[in-house]
Chain A
Amino acid sequence: MPKRSIVAEPNQHSIVATTVFNAPRELVFSVMTDPEMMPEWWGPCNLTTTVDKMEVWSGGSWRFVVYGEKGKEWAFHGVYHAIEAPERIVFTYEYEDLPGHVSLETTLFEDQDGGTKMTTISVFQSVEDRDGMMESDMNEGDQESMDRLEELLTAKMQVAV
C-alpha cells in the first residue's frame, strides 16, 4: 500500500486523499487542530499563511489568509461541524474568490501499524467544482514528473504517490 494516495474517480464529486504518519493519532490530531501550528504547514511554503480565526469546536469558524508578493492575498474560510479527538474532523471549505463554491471536508484518523492513517474526503457541489480544484495550481508548485506508469496503473485512475 502506498504511503500516500489521491483518488479522483472520473465523473464524481469527491477527492479522497490518504497519508500515513509515523506518529500516534493523538499527536497528529493535536498538531492539525493547533492554531499556532497551522501557519507552518497549511499554506504553500514560499508564502506566509496567517490564521485570522480558528475556533476548533462544532459551530466554530475558521479563516486563513495566505499572503503573496505585491500585496496579493488569498483567503479561505469555513465552519467546523465536528471535532472528535482523535478520530474525526468535519468542516466546510470555501475560497473567498469563488464564493458559494463550498466543499465539505471530512478527515478521519485511524491507527495503522503503530502510526496513523489519515484520510481526507472532500465532497464538492458538482463534478465541475471538483475538476476545477484538481486543476487549480495556486502555488505553481513543481509537478514532479511521473514516469512510473506502473504506479499510475496500479492506482487505477487514481494517482498513487
Chain B
Amino acid sequence: MFKAVADHHRRRLLDSVARDEGQTLSELCASMPMSRIGVMKHLDILEQAGLITTRKVGRERLHYLNPEPLRDIDSWLGGYRSRWEERMDRLEELINRTQASDQAKEKKDAKA
C-alpha cells in the first residue's frame, strides 16, 4: 500500500482518477508522460493495492477511486498531526496577541 503511493507517477494517476472518476485508459494515458503499457502497469499496482477499482463498460474499462486505504494512512498520521495542529493553533494565537499588543504600544508611544 505504501509502495503503491510511494511512486510519483502513481500518485499523479491517483490524482487524475480522483479529479475525474470513470476515466478510460486512453483518457488517463493522455495526461501521463509515458507509454500506454507503462500506465497500465501503474494502474495494475494501484488496483492491487485496493486504491482504485475498475468497471468494464462495453470495450472500455473505467477507473474509480477507492478511498478506504487512504483513510488508513490518514489515521496513521492522526496522532502526530492533531498534536502539532493544536500546538500551531496556540502559537498562532500567541503571535497574534503579541503583535496586537506591540502595535497598541507603538500607537501609545506615538501619541506620547
Contacts and interface: CB of A to CB of B under 8 A. Distances in A.
A98 interface: no
Interface residues of B, number: 40
A85 interface: no
A137 B79 contact: yes
B74 A45 contact: no
B86 A134 contact: no
Contact of B82 (A42, A141, A149): A141
Using C-beta atoms within 8 Å of the partner chain, give the interface range for chain A.
Answer: 35 or more
Interface in A15-55: 15, 17, 19, 21-23, 27-28, 31-32, 37, 40-42, 44-45
B14 interface: yes
Contact of B18 (A8, A131, A136, A149): A149
A150 B19 CA distance: 8
Given A8-B77, A11-B6, A150-B18, A28 B84 contact: no
Interface of B: 2-3, 5-6, 8, 11, 14-15, 18-19, 65, 67, 70-71, 73-88, 90-96, 98-99, 102
28 contacts: A8-B77, A11-B2, A11-B6, A19-B92, A23-B95, A23-B96, A23-B99, A27-B95, A27-B98, A31-B95, A31-B98, A40-B94, A41-B90, A41-B93, A133-B80, A135-B76, A135-B79, A136-B80, A137-B78, A139-B82, A139-B86, A141-B86, A143-B75, A144-B82, A152-B74, A153-B70, A157-B5, A157-B11
